[in-house]
Copies of this chain bind each other. A is one copy, B any other.
Amino acid sequence: MPLMTTANLRLMAVAMLAFATSVSAAPGGGDAAAAMHRRVLTIDSHVDTPTFVLRKGWDIGERHRPQDDFSQLDIPRMEDGGLDAAFFAVYLDQGPLTPEGYERAHQRGIMKAVAIREAVLKHGDELDLALTVEDAHRIVASGRHAIFMSMENAYPVGRDLSLLPAFHALGVRMIGLVHEQNNDFADSATDDAGPKWHGLSDAGRELVRRANDLGMVVDGSHASDEALDDLIATSRTPVILSHSGVRALLDHPRNLDDARLERLAASGGVIQIEAYSPYLVATPRDPPERADAEDSLLKKLGITSLGEATPGQKRALVAGVRALDQRFGKPRAGIDDFVAQLLYALRRVGPDHVGIGSDFDGGGGVAGLEDVSDYPEITRRLILAGYDESDIAKIWGGNVLRLVERAQAAGKSR
């Protein structure tokens, strides 16, 4: 799609939103929106909070602020933001496709899943692990937050998939095959080397079949266009994009083009719009000097690991990174850009096929949507755009739960 058209569409959407926002300032609107936000079951389908959970001394039960340590989700802020549930990602960056690489991925993947389970267990008064839709409803009805587990990058299950049942037993109910580079299962949307398989490999197709057998939802975020086509063709149950964008508003390989958006919806699938700035506004690649500047910053602050850093060091790091963003002219999207993508997808495929997956704690976060405590604003924007409570309930959680339900009903492990 030519850049001209994309840019124009984006500008139009933002203009519409500016108008909508001015209307919403009317007295009373906020309270009704807040009440509705509390009533619906809200789910964020992709957060990387486990990265923080694994960090020494970091406690999900305590309140944090992005400006202090980048953190965007904890129990006090789930309360503030009326967030009932989230998929906590067992994420691994793509390592070498060697025996040593796989061995390290096994260890790190398992320990990330274990860290999620143990954090949930430690905070049993506020959190509980959800393995089924029934669990989610029961946990939320008890006044707690439901934590689902997902995998972002199936690399830890091994080339022979021999850890797939183990990760299922650990609680993983949604699985994405690939991350930012191609792997043994699928092509990534963003590998500089270009496609390796032109979609899924045979192992990737086998992985999808076995995930279906186990009743896991298959996640197409980070997959290349061809790999997504293969996923939809191979999976026996609808595919989710747990955190992606729409290409009509920004021509980025992590964003879905209209034809695929419609094919995804026609197959029963769902796209969860992501609050990650580079998928929302055109962002040049970081110049090589940026990495050097970050290294210098860490050195200057005396930080070798975030787990060891003092609160003062962490605050200085957050400020320093933001200063680097300014120095290198890195744009930062705002909530209007996020809402523009959300509303675009909704107009295109309707409220049964769109939801929210922030990527908080994994790069997500835009001006006005800094952490989970800002979520009520999304509901307010959806009301202003004319969506009613039943639509909003689907967008905020119903669609994801429908896919979990369908996957488990079609699984052989029930």
Contacts and interface: CB of A to CB of B under 8 A. Distances in A.
Given A110-B110, A118-B121, A121-B118, A99 B170 contact: no
Contacts of A110: 110, 166, 169-170
B160 A107 contact: no
A336 to B, nearest CB: 44
A122 interface: yes
B106 A162 contact: yes
A32 interface: no
A117 B120 CA distance: 13
Given A117-B118, A118-B118, A121-B118, A162 B158 contact: yes
A55 interface: no
A111 interface: yes
A114 interface: yes
Nearest to A114: B114
Task: Describe A's contact surface by its main secondary structure.
Answer: helix
A165 B100 CA distance: 10
A180 to B, nearest CB: 24
A117 to B, nearest CB: 7
A162 B165 CA distance: 16
Contact of A163 (B106, B161, B164, B169): B106
A103 interface: yes
A102 B121 CA distance: 29
Contact of A162 (B102, B117, B166, B169): B102
A260 interface: no
Interface string A146-168: 00000000000010111111101
Contacts of A168: 107
B102 A170 contact: no
Interface in A91-122: 99, 102-104, 106-107, 110-111, 114, 117-118, 121-122
Contact of A104 (B99, B122, B165, B170): B165
A193 to B, nearest CB: 26
Contacts of A169: 107, 110-111
Nearest to A103: B162
Contact of A166 (B106, B118, B121, B165): B106
Contacts of A104: 165
B111 A170 contact: yes
A110 B163 CA distance: 10
Contacts of A117: 114, 118
A193 B186 CA distance: 44
B165 A107 contact: yes
B99 A166 contact: no
Nearest to A102: B162
**Which has the most chain B C-beta neighbours within 10 Å: A122, A161, A165?**
A165
A111 B162 contact: no
A162 B121 contact: no
A111 B113 CA distance: 11
Contact of A107 (B107, B111, B166): B166
B111 A166 contact: yes
18 contacts: A103-B162, A103-B164, A103-B165, A104-B165, A106-B162, A106-B163, A106-B165, A106-B166, A107-B165, A107-B166, A110-B110, A110-B166, A110-B169, A111-B166, A111-B169, A114-B170, A117-B118, A121-B121
Nearest first, the 10 A-B pairs at minimum CB distance are A107-B166, A107-B165, A103-B162, A110-B166, A106-B166, A107-B169, A111-B169, A106-B163, A121-B121, A106-B162
